[in-house]
Structure 1
Amino acid sequence: MKFTLSWLKEYLDTDADLDTITEKLTAIGLEIEEVENPADTLKPFVIAEIMEAGPHPDADKLQVCKVNTGSEVLQVVCGAPNARAGLKGAFAPSGSVIPTNGMKLKPTKIRGVESNGMMCSERELGLGEDHAGIIDLPSDAPVGTSFADYAGLDDPIIEIAITPNRQDALGVYGVARDLAAAGLGTLKEPSFEKVARSGESPVKVILETEQCPVFAGCYIKGVKNGPSPEWLQNRLKAIGLRPISTLVDITNYITYDMARPLHVYDADRLQGDIVVRQSKNGETLSALNDNDYTLDAGNCAITDDSGVIGLGGIIGGTSTGCEEDTVNVFLECAWFDPIAIAMAGRKLGIDSDARYRFERGVDPESIIPGIEQATRMIIDLCGGEASEIYLAGAAPDITKTVRVRPERIRSLGGVDVSEEEVIDILGRLGFTVEKKDGALDVTTPSWRCDIDGEADFVEEVLRIHGFEHIPATPLPKSSREIETGLSPLQKRVRLAKRTAAQQGLKEAVTWSFLPSAQVSLFAELKPELMLDNPISSDLDAMRPSLLPNLITAAGRNIDRGFKNVALFEAGSQFSSDTPDGQSLVLAGIRRGQTGARHWAKAPEEVSAFHAKADAEAVLRGIGTKIDNAQVAAEAPSWYHPGRSGVIRLGPKNVLAYFGEIHPKVLKALDVKGPLVAFEILLENIPMPKGKGGNSRGPLKTSDYQAVERDFAFLVDQKVAAADMIKAVRSAEKKLIDEVSIFDVYQGQGVPEGQKSVAVSIRLQPEDRTLTDEEIEQIAGKVIEAVTTATGGSLR
């Protein structure tokens, strides 16, 4: 919310200086964001007169001017088409900085001709959008004086932060009312002469929806539209609004002046009466922001016989907008349901000053004062003759009466405030107070729809009494011991994240939501996982997996030229809206190559085996004994069916998924593949038994020589490598230390439908050196175990 100091003082009679006012605003909850004084920026700029102007010798569009600054005459090269002898304007001397672009001026040569300083346009000084020529001041403008002083720019602009519950401070008058209640002056009631009215309005209003319970209108004929007066334009420019025309500028001014949005229609472009109803599915609106909108059913639509001409409380349409040739107008001053406005504005993505105020709550009692003020300004600035006010419906009563106990100021706020002061503060804020049965019955004013309960009144009293009076009191010490440290699951998550980082993956943090269109790629779209109030229309469902957000994050990096992407995230995914439906997972993805190009080792294209290696590394990092785990090709549907797998303990306890992401999933997410991923189901991993603490246990080493033996088996091509490894380990659990497959062959010399699998085993005795006989016995057990488990034979 922005306003100027002079604007504030139209409603606040005070001798306080700027610093005092800004300190008090922050103290009462209207926190200062910024204070800017245009006069400080424009301090070096002076009024200067062009004494002579002649053509540049080497440029047709440039002129060489002799400029009198009041203290000296300088030569200035100027390209403005309106530069001429006798013109008075704003001059920027060498050493000054142009506000809009930060350019620091210095003496220079332009096409070989010396130039000192610059004659400025409105845009260059940040005073408007006019850049067609330099500023042309009246002939009586005093040369050599400060341009900021002459133009009346010594008026600080104050910007305050508005919390959602302070809709009453969205107008300058409301801010002044708050400062007056805080003792920083006297509030000046707005006063304007009522308009002489005659005849009924030829435009009628019909209300057909509860979203608009009251609508006041006034027909004004014979107006003359055009640019608004300079004072009004300057005030709007100061707060960042672009002047459009007198009629539109008046409605924008009152929006900020009294927190009362209005709208004005070109009455001659209306077709029939105005009907306020709910929109129908598929209706369209060409809005004043130059965008076209297709409406769903249920929005608050302002219509005539031609269709939708505006969205109530949000934005008007171009079909009935006012132009320079507008002669007859219909002025609207209505009240709209805040929730309906918020929902429609968010769904359509329309941000406007009207929506900002209506969704927070506009004073319903401002209907008649608002239309009276706007009518008076239109008559004064545009002329015309006003009809009687046409009033459809009735303003809702949103006031509340709440029982307030003065002692609650102490118990809730920690400050002793007397009952007399409580009554005085509430009265200054506009509340009506009645003593009753040892308590106070307090009735809210129509402009404070945010007040609901006793605690709200405590806050109101405290902010005016002064938050600085609240003593700083430390919290009492707990009477019981508080357990410190991390839970076993929290430790597991940290270890898992650390291991993933050691694998070269970078941690990502993504939303717990995702577009509902992506949910079906990974799970069933359940209604209970849809968000009622999403932060964005495309983040409307809880994520069933961490992978969609990681994959799309990889896609964004790929689009920006990063070919090799390796990311991981640890967080929750959701299968239902119950506590049991939330599970903790660490997921990771890789795309591209395993690393950058290097002379010593060429990088590899990522594959399902890299994802498996990442998954196994994380599982080992958190202490999982995966030697007993099985690997099976049973990964979920979002993985490639022939290039993925699952790591599990037993037939049901799944520890992890890994593999290449299915091409149809990547296509749906618009990400170029191939891309591999893994998912560690952290809560499925059994916790260690016993009370071993965090110790890794004793280091087991052997002084005896290890023995390695290789075997080649002919097995059916459907036999899984994991089954062979499991069979080998079962042959001699104490002595077999390591098992690995180092070759798989199909082709000449191998029967059709079979494959040759070469296995290497490492025997590590701990108490003796193995003899040849013992080694042969173990080899026999290995051959027998593999033959029994797989039906294969030694090659």
Structure 2
Amino acid sequence: MQFSESWLRTLVDPDLSTDALAHALTMSGLEVEETDPVAPPFTGVVVAKVLEVARHPDADRLNVCQVDAGTGETLTIVCGAPNVAPGIKVPCATVGAALPPAEAGGAPFQIKIGKLRGVQSFGMLCSARELKLSEDHAGLMILPEDAPVGMNIREYLDLDDTIFVVKLTPNKADCLSLLGVAREVAAITGAPLKDLPGQGAQASTIADTLPVRISSPDGCGRFGGRIIRRVNAAAPSPRWMVERLERAGQRSISALVDITNYVMLELGQPLHVYDLNRLQGGIDVRFGRAGETLKLLNEQTVTLDETTLAITDASGPIGLAGIMGGDSTKAGLETQNIFLEGAFFFPQAIQGRARKYNFTSDASHRFERGVDFAGNVRALERATQLVLDICGGQAGPLEDQIAKLPERQPVKMRVARAVKILGVPVSEQEMSAIFTRLGLAFTLTDGVFEVTPPSYRFDIEIEEDLIEEIARIYGFDRIPANPPVAASEMRPTQESRRSQHAVRHAVAARDYHETVGFSFVDVEWEADFAGNDNPIKLLNPIASHLAVMRSTLIGSLIATARYNLNRKASRVRVFEIGRTYHRDNTVASGELSVGGYRQPLTVAALAYGPVLEEQWGAAARQVDFFDVKGDLEALLAPRAARFVKAEHPALHPGRSAAIEVDGKRVGFIGELHPRWQQKYDLPQAPVLFEIEAEALFGRDVASYEDISKFPPVTRDLALVVDQAQPVQVLLDAMLAARHDDPACSVVQSVRLFDEFRPKAGAASGSLGAQDKSVAFRVTLQDPSGTLQDETVQGAINALVQRVEGFGARLRA
């Protein structure tokens, strides 16, 4: 919200300086972001009248002007502006004047007596740009004919003014007008609120009316308007109105448009002017019908549906209700008869409609938040007065139809509850005074206020809203900042769990960069990367392509990788920690569940490109499955994970695996499926993993074990098995033998270190065409003594017997 201080002070004029007024507004919750002067400082500029203009004898582009600047004598001023002419009134910088510097931070420009091509000049006639009032430098700034000669231009144009820029929270729709801000200032400072001009009813001089019907009372609760005939739409807008509009961020367009914009800014009620001669029959306010189209004032053509409230006549839609009028009935400079309309539309019927058509308007911004449903008549009377004063004409009777208005339910506030929340002892009398200053009707019974919100306050619905009003007007700066009085308690650290913060740092330490994506994603991502053909849909998505909740983080990582690759990044390593969303009533430890939806916290990472940045110390190669598997194992350490062959919709069927921890499947790892690599235009397949965060949060508590004083013994086992036999099965069998077989109690570890397969379709030595050789390194150690050969051989024989059941044999 932007407005000039001088305009505000016509409605309420507290005895406060500009800075104090801005501070008071900010402390009441209306944050004043900026206070900018209307014009930079300058002196010595007055209103002057050009009496004569003659060509300069020695310069074709210069004129010698005789000027009356109210000094008692005629000044000779040399001027090069193309629009200088006898009889006009312009700003004149007299000798000794100080004009704004040409560049920021420069010195003021001093006006002195000077000679231009041999002719002395006693001043300078100014353009708006030279006074830093606008960027217009096409010629002199022409002033109205009634401008008093000799008057200081700052006083005449009210340049000693300040523009306030207020940052409003969405609930403060009542302050989207000068009247609303004035109410706040009056409540904060106690200054009286002045009477608005034009509050009385305008007399009707003609009996013409326009039939109006409200077919959709759930969308339009009130519709008022009147006919005004024989207006001069080409009449110029008065200077005071143009200045106030410009200082509020609105440019002057035409008298009728300026009047509706002015009343909207002044009273908060959007209005619309129709060309009466272009209307076909009466007006009907109804929801749109499928297939109906409408060309708007912004020249955009939109297609309506059953959720869009429309203003219609016999020809069909002529405007989007509460958003923008239609092009077919707009009032132009040639318009002579108008229909002036002001209505109340329910916020629910307007919210999101303008955004659906990819634009917004001042009207929709207000109606979406709530407009005073009792104020349309006052706004129509005010606009009628301005139309008659500026454009002339004859006004008909004001017709105001009320179909359905919001019900204002009383809201109760307990005094004791308010005092407890505020933390300061505000008395009942002071609370009563605050509600009175805010214009809130109330009753007080046994320490409980019952407040009925006025028609312009849509933000008062619950007890906390009233407590906030007390705090705002009482003054946030009067509420002391006391330290907490609750006892502080140190919480014990769980050694068996890591925090999310620790996991995030651990992943980052593996050379991954964290990203944050939306929880709502493209429905195509869900189908591609999760095989989810029934995702959780959003009722009101922020964009059409972000319409469902994600059940996997892979889509966001792929999008991030593509974004970086499109910007010439050759190596991408990213991760994300976030919640995914699933239809499931079963909830595991550490998960959230709301309304039958499971929301586990998930960790996912993606690696693409070279393993290392290019360097002399290591040969360049592309990241592969085992690099990312190593990163994941490091994150899980000291807990061990099993990687089981499995398929996933997003991953390569032969280069992916399921991740199991403590016998539970917790995620997937693998290369991106070639189909998605091609679809998403990736030159190489990235390697990804996605795992439940709970698997990374848990960790084994360290336990002490004696370090053996006796040397370990290592033995290598080369086994021949069928190529289809998973090595993990052999490894699990040998590790299980350590606990099941006394002979294997001295086995400390078993690790795969080699695998060999003969060429396709050919045997190799003791290996058949369908065989493979796998080599394990077995470490043995006895903490109580040196191992003997027979003990070592017995353990090795026991391990071999364990794997023989899976078709394995020692390699010859």
Alignment RMSD: 4.4
1:253–1:664 CA distance, 2 compared to 1 (3 A)? farther
Q: How far did 1:497 drift?
A: 2.7
1:183–1:653 CA distance, 2 compared to 1 (3 A)? closer
Q: TM-score normalized by structure 1?
A: 0.83
Take 1:602 and 1:178, find their aligned partners in 2: how far apart are those partners? 71
Query: Paired residue for 1:602?
Result: 619
Deviations 1:636-681 (A, max 9, x none): 211111221123257x611431111224445666666422101122
Take 1:26 and 1:300, find their aligned partners in 2: how far apart are those partners? 37
Take 1:591 and 1:252, find their aligned partners in 2: how far apart are those partners? 56
Query: Paired residue for 2:655?
Result: 643
Take 1:54 and 1:667, find their aligned partners in 2: how far apart are those partners? 75
Take 1:705 and 1:404, find their aligned partners in 2: how far apart are those partners? 78
Query: Paired residue for 1:7?
Result: 7
Among 518, 526, 544, the alignment partner of 1:511 is 518
1:493–1:214 CA distance, 2 compared to 1 (3 A)? closer
Q: How far did 1:558 drift?
A: 2.0
Q: Which amino acid aligns with 1:376?
A: Q
1:675–1:121 CA distance, 2 compared to 1 (3 A)? farther
1:645–1:56 CA distance, 2 compared to 1 (3 A)? farther
Query: Paired residue for 2:554?
Result: 547
Q: How far did 1:376 drift?
A: 1.3
Among 657, 664, 668, the alignment partner of 1:653 is 664
- Report the identity percentage: 33
Query: Paired residue for 2:610?
Result: 593
Q: Which amino acid aligns with 2:639?
A: T
1:152–1:597 CA distance, 2 compared to 1 (3 A)? same
Q: How far did 1:129 drift?
A: 6.7
Contact 1:98 1:124 in 2 (8 A): no
Deviations 1:198-227 (A, max 9, x none): 444453222111210211121222222245
Q: Which amino acid aligns with 2:20?
A: T
Q: How far did 1:464 drift?
A: 2.9
Matched, 1:740 2:753: yes
Take 2:531 and 2:617, find their aligned partners in 1: how far apart are those partners? 47
Among 257, 280, 285, the alignment partner of 1:271 is 280
Matches within 5 A, 1:524-673: 529-534=536-541, 536-576=543-583, 579=592, 581-620=598-637, 623-626=638-641, 629=642, 631-649=643-661, 653-666=664-677, 673=684
Take 1:672 and 1:44, find their aligned partners in 2: how far apart are those partners? 70
Q: How far did 1:82 drift?
A: 5.1
Contact 1:245 1:324 in 2 (8 A): yes
Farther off after superposition, 144-153 or 367-376: 144-153
Q: How far did 1:510 drift?
A: 2.5
Contact 1:216 1:334 in 2 (8 A): yes
Contact 1:639 1:662 in 2 (8 A): yes
Q: Which amino acid aligns with 2:635?
A: V
Take 1:458 and 1:269, find their aligned partners in 2: how far apart are those partners? 51
Q: How far did 1:766 drift?
A: 5.0
1:740–1:119 CA distance, 2 compared to 1 (3 A)? farther
Q: Which amino acid aligns with 2:537?
A: M
Take 1:547 and 1:179, find their aligned partners in 2: how far apart are those partners? 53
Take 1:781 and 1:236, find their aligned partners in 2: how far apart are those partners? 94
Matches within 5 A, 1:67-466: 96-98=101-103, 122=128, 127=133, 130=136, 132-133=138-139, 135-136=141-142, 148=154, 151-192=157-198, 194-201=201-208, 203-209=210-216, 210-226=218-234, 227-394=236-403, 396=405, 398-402=407-411, 409-434=418-443, 441-466=450-475
Query: Paired residue for 1:39?
Result: 39
Q: How far did 1:758 drift?
A: 4.7
Take 1:55 and 1:549, find their aligned partners in 2: how far apart are those partners? 74
Q: How far did 1:12 drift?
A: 1.2
Contact 1:53 1:84 in 2 (8 A): no
Q: Which amino acid aligns with 2:553?
A: L
Farther off after superposition, 601-610 or 544-553: 601-610
1:792–1:264 CA distance, 2 compared to 1 (3 A)? farther
Take 1:446 and 1:399, find their aligned partners in 2: how far apart are those partners? 8
Farther off after superposition, 8-17 or 208-217: 8-17
Contact 2:625 2:670 in 1 (8 A): yes
Deviations 1:392-439 (A, max 9, x none): 334625434445565655445444455444444323322334566786
Q: Which amino acid aligns with 2:351?
A: A
Deviations 1:21-79 (A, max 9, x none): 2232223332222111123366799999999988999xxxx968999999999999x8x
1:170–1:137 CA distance, 2 compared to 1 (3 A)? closer
Q: Which segments of 5 or more consecutive residues in structure 2 lack a partner in the other structure? A: 111-116, 118-122, 586-591, 738-743
Contact 2:209 2:226 in 1 (8 A): no
Q: TM-score normalized by structure 2?
A: 0.82
1:125–1:546 CA distance, 2 compared to 1 (3 A)? farther
Among 659, 682, 688, the alignment partner of 1:677 is 688
| SS at 2:486 equivalent | coil
Q: How far did 1:157 drift?
A: 0.7
Q: Which segments of 5 or more consecutive residues in structure 1 lack a partner in the other structure? A: 108-112
Query: Paired residue for 2:509?
Result: 502
Contact 1:197 1:388 in 2 (8 A): yes
1:295–1:256 CA distance, 2 compared to 1 (3 A)? same
Query: Paired residue for 2:120?
Result: none
| SS at 1:327 equivalent | coil
Query: Paired residue for 1:110?
Result: none
| SS at 1:40 equivalent | coil
Q: Which amino acid aligns with 1:8?
A: L
1:775–1:727 CA distance, 2 compared to 1 (3 A)? same
| SS at 2:806 equivalent | helix
Among 717, 720, 724, the alignment partner of 1:718 is 724
Q: How far did 1:472 drift?
A: 4.4
| SS at 1:39 equivalent | coil
| SS at 1:741 equivalent | strand
Q: How far did 1:336 drift?
A: 0.5
Farther off after superposition, 4-13 or 220-229: 220-229
Q: Which amino acid aligns with 1:318?
A: D
Farther off after superposition, 80-89 or 592-601: 80-89
1:42–1:247 CA distance, 2 compared to 1 (3 A)? farther
Contact 1:639 1:661 in 2 (8 A): yes
Q: Which amino acid aligns with 1:662?
A: H
Take 1:729 and 1:438, find their aligned partners in 2: how far apart are those partners? 74
1:340–1:381 CA distance, 2 compared to 1 (3 A)? same
Contact 2:503 2:697 in 1 (8 A): no
Contact 2:672 2:687 in 1 (8 A): yes
| SS at 1:331 equivalent | strand
Q: Which amino acid aligns with 2:163?
A: I
Take 1:230 and 1:760, find their aligned partners in 2: how far apart are those partners? 93
Contact 1:213 1:336 in 2 (8 A): yes
| SS at 1:590 equivalent | strand
Take 1:55 and 1:745, find their aligned partners in 2: how far apart are those partners? 106
Matched, 1:763 2:763: no
1:95–1:172 CA distance, 2 compared to 1 (3 A)? closer
Deviations 1:538-590 (A, max 9, x none): 44433211222222122222222222110112232221375352222221001
